[in-house]
Amino acid sequence: SGPEIMSKLAGESESNLRKAFEECEKNSPAILFIDEIDAIAPKREKTHGEVERRIVSQLLTLMDGLKQRSHVVVMAATNRPNSIDGALRRFGRFDREIDIGIPDAVGRLEVLRIKTKNMKLGDDVDLEQVANECHGYVGADLASLCSEAALQQIREKMEL
């Protein structure tokens, strides 16, 4: 993920990025997936640090270098697409975007079932009702909801 590439040591973030690309090239065909790309590729005009600018430049250079080899596909995810440097969204780089959006009630129910499959739920827990009442929640929100509900139950049991 983007945050894992970042390092406090000078030049190490760029080196981590190069290593990821080199590993994919060595094992091609391959897919390089960068989660939370906004952490390493913010708009350069909005960054204050030189490190962020260098990382964006390094990423652009590495992606441009892949054009000829084309056995590595680079994909990325972000919750903030408008915060990414515009040069990355040009043709030949990240030129196709897929908006995943928020899950509907059926999708939310599926996430809730996955997140609670190892939990003992009370007879009064209606996951369908919870899914219907959580409009606007994404997977991370639902995971947090399940964790918090479980922790609340543990707290209540400890107070008895």
**Lookup: tokens for 47:** 């960054």
> What pLDDT score does 68 carry?
65
Q: Which CATH class is domain 105-159?
A: mainly alpha
Sequence spans of domains, the chain: 2-89, 105-159
Q: What is the mean pLDDT of residues 11-23?
A: 82
Please state the pTM of the whole predicted model: 0.65
For residue 29, say if its preceding peptide bond is cis, omega within 30 degrees of 0: yes
Rounded to whole angstroms, how far apart are CA atoms 121 and 150?
9
User: With 50 as the cut, is the pLDDT of residue 46 above it?
Assistant: yes
73-131 confidence digits (pLDDT tens): 899 998 888 888 888 888 888 888 998 889 999 999 999 999 999 988 889 999 999 99
Q: Which residues contact 123 (CB under 8 A, 6 or more apart)?
A: none
Residue 159 DSSP class: H
- Mean pLDDT, rounded, of the chain: 84
Pick the CATH number of 2-89 from 3.40.190.150, 3.50.50.60, 3.40.50.300, 2.40.50.140: 3.40.50.300
Asked if the domains at 2-89 and 105-159 fall in one CATH topology, the answer is no
CB atoms within 10 A of CB 156: 9
